[in-house]
Chain A
């Protein structure tokens, strides 16, 4: 008896949903008038870590909002496998592919094969040298520049800096351009030491290095650490050396853990600049959707970064990424690749 009623309720619910969905879908251009039949694939190169986890959740929520069928193929840093996965996606008969990171050399031909098969492709943070494929980027150069602008506002253009950098990592190289420009434009900025390592756990290894650097260069009063793991490491070293009042740390990227580190009483980590990775994920899906509907999103889609200062976090009592999103709308949603017919994910 009870079961039959349950079934009735469920049935009613489903029919309501179906009516709702079809009413909604009527406004959407083909092929999104039948979104369940649209299949898209996310082909990933990097997946481990908060950033990539958050990116994935953005892709998932936007895909769910559109109602399309999303397949996630994760090559876990295997460049050859990633290229194979594009072929796999082609044979799955997907309508669109998002390539997330990877190497130009290994992905260029695979991407071309997908385009030849009539599939719409977008690429995030990897240049596949193909005019038919729009490039989605979080502007790493802007990220570095905004942080340095803030450093100059806070400290004047005359300070001694420590710089954390590991060459050969694409986003860090692009942030490095901003640092070189800032040094050139402000002769008063002295780079006393450059250090950095990607040894895992990165924060711990960087903390060890930063301890040595701060000991050897007691004049340093600003540290530019344009990656949050670097900033965490430097902060540990600064705390251990008892220099919290003497040194300011400027960084890039943000996470819930970073927010609590920035908000510790007397924290030396005063500002960071970040793009919300889940917003980048949403933008990736929307860009692909525009292409599938026959619109042109442009050759390059840039998601603008946001400056987040310790002061702002404290004044608004922000504890985690959700708070940050609600207090800082420009962090929650980027007005990039939007169209009236594309439903945005629910907040």
Chain B
């Protein structure tokens, strides 16, 4: 009985304890880790992947998967740069264009999966390649920056507007002056919104129901197709938000495949399964998973650990989290039944 309690405690709180333990360790070992600014850096470094991870969480909830988020983000990066630098549009047009593009890509993904019956991994894989190529076509593979030469021999005169850069660079005062960057605030807001949506609205619960048993959900009258499409639209929109923030931070339209963004955010969402013993995709877990990776990388960088050890540790954390999720919790639920 005692053993049983211990195990369920480990499953529920093990990950959070590990997170706190790591923070204490780095605070003692790495000079400069324990400070408000350093904490904000951690949030900032995970804000963009965290936002993408929250979108992936929504597709995981309906038992789907979205491989295209990384390339949606980099397409949004290029699109925002293109609309401001080449088309000389103001910031709000760039933002709206990107959000619309994200929603449209999500819609197409959803329709391919639901209406055309293409398996989710394959449909979004195709979309990923399509976007990686598409984002380079308007500039013939070049990055976008003010002053670049255009095809017709003229140079691009537009600039990233100050309002747009504000999204990536402004920092709000909180206790200390200029402390909390805008992307962190947006990350927290998106996390809160997705969390409330998934846990506390009828729609969110129906999405979980669809994910665990699609047939049963259908029989109780849920519009499965519409919810699935909605999940991909959410994922596309969050990915484009991530891309907008990336563009605002970089201040230029760099070509990039976004594959690392994809992998990091999927890792965060999967690590999230293990948080609080949820054993299922959940917004709180995803945010914690992203933070966990951020704290690890920040601490290791401060201690001069080379990049390959960081990848190694990231992988080790993911494997541990998956063991937590799939082995321990299946054991405990089996024990409960007996």
Contact = CB atoms under 8 A, between A and B. Distances in A.
Interface of A: 47-50, 53, 166, 193-205, 207-209, 211-213, 215-218, 232, 236, 239-240, 242, 255-257, 259-261, 319-323
18 contacts: A48-B141, A49-B141, A50-B143, A50-B255, A53-B140, A194-B306, A199-B260, A199-B307, A201-B246, A201-B254, A201-B258, A203-B250, A240-B44, A256-B149, A257-B144, A259-B147, A322-B149, A323-B147
Contact of A260 (B145, B260, B307): B145
B30 A320 contact: no
Contacts of A240: 44, 169, 181
B143 A255 contact: yes
A341 to B, nearest CB: 29
B44 A216 contact: no
Nearest to B298: A212
Interface centre among A201, A202, A240, A319 (most CB of B within 10 A): A201
Interface stretch (B5-13, B17-25, B32-40, B278-286): B32-40
Contact of B32 (A48, A204, A218): A218
Interface centre among A204, A218, A236 (most CB of B within 10 A): A204
Given A166-B307, A212-B301, A215-B38, A320 B147 contact: yes
Contact of B145 (A193, A201, A202, A257): A257
A55 B173 CA distance: 46
Contacts of B254: 201, 203, 257
B156 to A, nearest CB: 9
B146 to A, nearest CB: 5
B161 interface: no
Contact of B250 (A201, A255, A321): A201
A212 B155 contact: no
Given A215-B302, A321-B149, A207 B249 contact: yes
B31 interface: yes
Contacts, number: 124
Interface string B215-255: 00000000000000000000000000000001001111011
Contacts of B304: 193-195
A53 B250 contact: no
A246 B33 CA distance: 21
Interface in B149-170: 149, 155, 169
Given A195-B304, A209-B297, 6 more contacts: A49-B143, A193-B304, A212-B298, A215-B38, A216-B33, A320-B149
Contacts of B255: 48-50
Nearest to A257: B145
Contacts of A212: 38, 41, 297-298, 301-302
Contacts of A195: 301, 304, 307
Contact of A204 (B33, B142, B145, B250): B250
A198 B260 CA distance: 10
B74 interface: yes
Contact of B37 (A50, A209, A215): A215
A198 B311 CA distance: 12
Contacts of B149: 256, 320-322
Given A53-B141, A211-B41, A200 B258 contact: yes
Nearest to A198: B307
B155 A322 contact: yes
Nearest to A235: B251
Interface in B245-271: 246, 249-252, 254-261
A31 B316 CA distance: 61
Contacts of B257: 200
B108 interface: no
Contacts of B101: none
Interface in B48-83: 48, 74, 77
